[in-house]
Amino acid sequence: MYQAEFEAKALEVLRSGWYVLGNEVKQFETEFANYVGAKHCVGLASGLDALWIAFRILGIGAGDEVIVQGNTYIASVMGITMNGATPVFVEPDEYFNIDASKIEEKITDKTKAILVVHLYGQASNMGPILDICKKHNLRLVEDCAQSHGAKFNGKTTGTFGDIGCFSFYPSKNLGAFGDAGAIVTNDDSIAEDVRVFRNYGSEKRYYNKVVGANSRLDEIQAGFLRVRLKHLDELALEKKQICERYLSELKNDKIELPKTREGATHIWHQFVLKTDYRDELIKYLDDKGIGTIIHYPIPPHLSEAYQYLGVKEGALPITEKYAKSVLSIPLYNGMTSEEQDYIIKTINAF
């Protein structure tokens, strides 16, 4: 979609002779900050970089604990552990986001922050989360890799806490044509620190203030993101309309449809249903030519990578149940109404 605009932008950047941290990045940062309603946006190389750099800039590391939901994509957790900090897992609510009523029991004197993940595109229950952060003096970081533009009580995800982290991986709702990410913040000094950190800790060439990283956003990706951002609302509307059809027309006792919380908006990164008959449903749909994906089959605490945390199977029963029962059905821009009809009819006949 928008092929001609993307091709024109690619040529424009190629011919400009400027490929890293230039005008496209600057323009995109301004436009994306405006889109989410934040004071600053700083472009980075990926969503994972946004997460680990966020905790690094907040000074959260070894000996510190960060609260995060158990059923997230593993990158959320890596953003914490790359700094040497310890993730403390909380069970999700019925909307697949962190269950705010179960956060306080996990707070210790080592807890420094909450990482809220707006999973599958739906804004989390921010009211009680903000109260908890205030009461316990905790930092708030948001993982918005799946929630570009989703709102809670009219406020856009990414702007509730100290830092909002975004991924623009190609499959995300705002996707580039390669890896890209960003942080947004209303804090001038955090924005400045991230800006310096992403470029070897240097503000002025060959003068290095801190030990930083190379996490710069390419000009060509920023250019593509500017094109896509212009169309993001219409792309989001198209996905919403497909999901509204799914919600009203999918009828099968063997599946449970996703719910949207009152006050929250959902940008439908994924349409995730739950079923106790998952293996059979996957096979059945596959036989009919309908592909599905599990987001995510192994929760981070049970992955091989995180065995060292010592969180055993059974410790997070809701998270583990979701991992065994969630299934994402086809959802993408450009999906025809015949394709939607076929998917609905086929699932209803299961």
Ligand X SMILES: *Cc1c(COP(=O)(O)O)cnc(C)c1O
**Tokens linked to 101:** 């009523």
Question: Does residue 48 interact with ligand X by CB under 6 A?
Answer: yes
Task: Tell me which stretch binds ligand X (CB under 6 A): 23-31, 72-80, 206-214, 222-230.
Answer: 72-80
Question: Does residue 76 interact with ligand X by CB under 6 A?
Answer: yes
3-class DSSP assignment, residue 199: strand
Q: Which is nearer to ligand X, 250 or 298 (CB)?
A: 298
| Helices (H), ranges, 137-273 | 188-197, 219-249
Q: Which is nearer to ligand X, 111 or 147 (CB)?
A: 147
Question: Does residue 73 interact with ligand X by CB under 6 A?
Answer: yes
Backbone φ, ψ for residue 185 (5° rounding): -160, 155
3-class DSSP assignment, residue 152: strand
3-class DSSP assignment, residue 136: helix
Task: Tell me which stretch binds ligand X (CB under 6 A): 69-77, 149-157, 220-228, 317-325.
Answer: 69-77
Q: Which is nearer to ligand X, 51 or 57 (CB)?
A: 51
Task: Tell me which stretch binds ligand X (CB under 6 A): 73-81, 200-208, 215-223, 286-294.
Answer: 73-81
What is the smallest separation between the CB atom of 174 and ligand X, expressed in angstroms? 11
What is the smallest separation between the CB atom of 224 and ligand X, expressed in angstroms? 14
Q: Among residues 67, 68, 90, 145, which is the contact residue for ligand X, using CB under 6 A?
A: 145
Q: Which is nearer to ligand X, 125 or 167 (CB)?
A: 167
**Tokens linked to 331:** 């959802």
Pair 52, 83: CB distance under 8 Å: yes
Question: Does residue 36 interact with ligand X by CB under 6 A?
Answer: no
255-256 β-sheet, strand order: 255-256, 271-275, 326-329
What is the smallest separation between the CB atom of 181 and ligand X, expressed in angstroms? 5
Strand partners, 141: 115, 163
CB atoms within 10 A of CB 345: 12
- Window 99-118: contact mask with ligand X (x via CB under 6 A): ------------------x-
Q: Which is nearer to ligand X, 43 or 347 (CB)?
A: 43
Q: Among residues 75, 132, 235, 243, which is the contact residue for ligand X, using CB under 6 A?
A: 75
Task: Tell me which stretch binds ligand X (CB under 6 A): 30-38, 40-48, 123-131, 300-308.
Answer: 40-48
Instruction: Write down the residue that tokens 């091989």 correspond to.
Output: 304
Task: Tell me which stretch binds ligand X (CB under 6 A): 42-50, 101-109, 211-219, 315-323.
Answer: 42-50
Pair 162, 112: CB distance under 8 Å: no
Q: Which is nearer to ligand X, 175 or 212 (CB)?
A: 175
List Cβ neighbours of 96 (8 Å cut-off, separation of 6 or more): 71, 119, 120, 122, 258, 272, 322, 326
**CA angle 51–53–56, rounded 5-degree value:** 115
Question: Does residue 46 interact with ligand X by CB under 6 A?
Answer: yes
- Of 109, 111, 174, nearest to 147 by C-alpha is 174
Question: Does residue 225 interact with ligand X by CB under 6 A?
Answer: no
List Cβ neighbours of 7 (8 Å cut-off, separation of 6 or more): none
> Where in 167-196 is the site for ligand X (CB under 6 A)?
167, 169, 179, 181
Q: Which is nearer to ligand X, 173 or 199 (CB)?
A: 173
**Tokens linked to 268:** 């439908």
Task: Tell me which stretch binds ligand X (CB under 6 A): 45-53, 153-161, 205-213, 216-224.
Answer: 45-53
* DSSP character string of 84-131: T-EEEEE-B-TTSSB-GGGTGGG--TTEEEEEEE-GGGBPP-HHHHHH
Q: Which is nearer to ligand X, 195 or 269 (CB)?
A: 269
Angle in degrees, 0-180, between the axes of helices 337-348 and 219-249, rounded to the nearest 10: 50
> Given the rule CB under 6 A, which residues bind ligand X?
46-48, 72-73, 75-76, 117, 143, 145-146, 167, 169, 179, 181
